């Protein structure tokens, strides 16, 4: 019986003094910025208060909703 106890103790091995801590992965969002294509625009202020923007050379009219 004492041999069995000694075998179990030896099989268990030494107890480490301190176990390494697992690092928790932290999710961090990735921000991507895309540069817009530069295009010259123009605008029209309608009588009803709307502001219409459009590329230069392609004007919009206020009567189109």
User: pLDDT per residue over 5-33, tens digit each?
Assistant: 777 777 766 665 666 666 677 888 888 88
Inter-residue contact 44 to 52 (CB < 8 Å): yes
pLDDT at 13 (0 to 100) = 64
Q: Name the phi and psi angles at 28, rounded to 5.
A: -120, 130
Domain count, the chain: 1
Q: pTM of the predicted model, to two decimals?
A: 0.39
Average pLDDT for 41-55? 92
Q: Is residue 9 part of a domain?
A: no
Q: How far apart are CA 14 and CA 44, in angstroms?
A: 82
Whole domain around residue 44: which residue ranges? 37-64
Overall residue count recorded for the chain in this entry: 65
Q: Is residue 13 part of a domain?
A: no
Q: How far apart are CA 62 and CA 65, in angstroms?
A: 7
Q: Which of 63, 37, 39 is nearest to 52 (CA)?
A: 63
Q: Is residue 21 part of a domain?
A: no
Q: Is residue 60 part of a domain?
A: yes
Q: Is residue 27 part of a domain?
A: no
Q: Is residue 56 part of a domain?
A: yes
Q: Is residue 29 part of a domain?
A: no
């Amino acid at each position: 019986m004492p041999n069995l106890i000694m075998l179990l103790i030896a099989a268990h091995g030494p107890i480490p003094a301190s176990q390494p801590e697992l690092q928790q992965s932290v999710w961090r969002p990735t921000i991507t910025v895309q540069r817009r294509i530069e295009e010259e625009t123009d605008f029209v202020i309608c009588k009803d208060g709307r502001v219409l923007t459009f590329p230069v050379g392609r004007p919009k009219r206020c009567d189109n909703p």
